[in-house]
Amino acid sequence: MAERTLVLVKPDAVGRSLIGEVLVRIERKGLRVVALEMRTATTEVAAQHYAEHQGKPFYDGLLQFITSAPLVAAVVEGPRAITAFRQLAGGTDPVEKAATGSIRGDFGLETQLNLVHGSDSPESAAREIALWFPSL
């Protein structure tokens, strides 16, 4: 049974020319990219995307960062795609939590600049896909 997840290649990864690296890892795993678009997120979309973090100390900086430069949004599909991509991404803190071999573990040093986002549950995935790709 195929599942869909919303992936963001965040502005830090785009700026470091790591779009291809991230997509290669997704495809090599066996997941399929079913929608893909580069854009600069508006504050409105970013605020909805990260609504769960409103009020946290890192929230303002997170919104500032995520809207600061182009990102790549993608819908990725496959069996257990949500968990599969979270495994590919690694934990939120690229040094303390992400294992070497994961995207964040291999390329990240700072929590805010952790390269990618992946939906964390089926409910989040449905909400985020509708937000970033309303025509899907």
Residues forming the active site: 117
Cα maximum dimension of the chain: 39
Binding mask 50-79 for ligand RTP (x = CB under 6 A): ---x----x---x-----------------
Q: Which positions from 79 to 98 touch ligand RTP by CB under 6 A, shown as an x/- string?
A: -------------x------
Q: How many residues does the chain have?
A: 136
48 or 112: CB nearest ligand RTP: 112
Size of the site for ligand RTP (CB under 6 A): 10
Give the residue with the Cβ less far from ligand RTP, 4 or 117: 117
Contact flag: residue 21 with ligand RTP (CB under 6 A): no
Least separation in angstroms between residue 66's CB and ligand RTP is 8
Distance, in Å, from the CA atom of 95 to the CA atom of 109, rounded to the nearest integer, reads 6
Residues tagged in the binding site annotation: 10, 58, 86, 92, 104, 114
Q: Which residues are near ligand RTP by CB under 6 A?
A: 53, 58, 62, 92, 111-112, 114, 117-118, 120
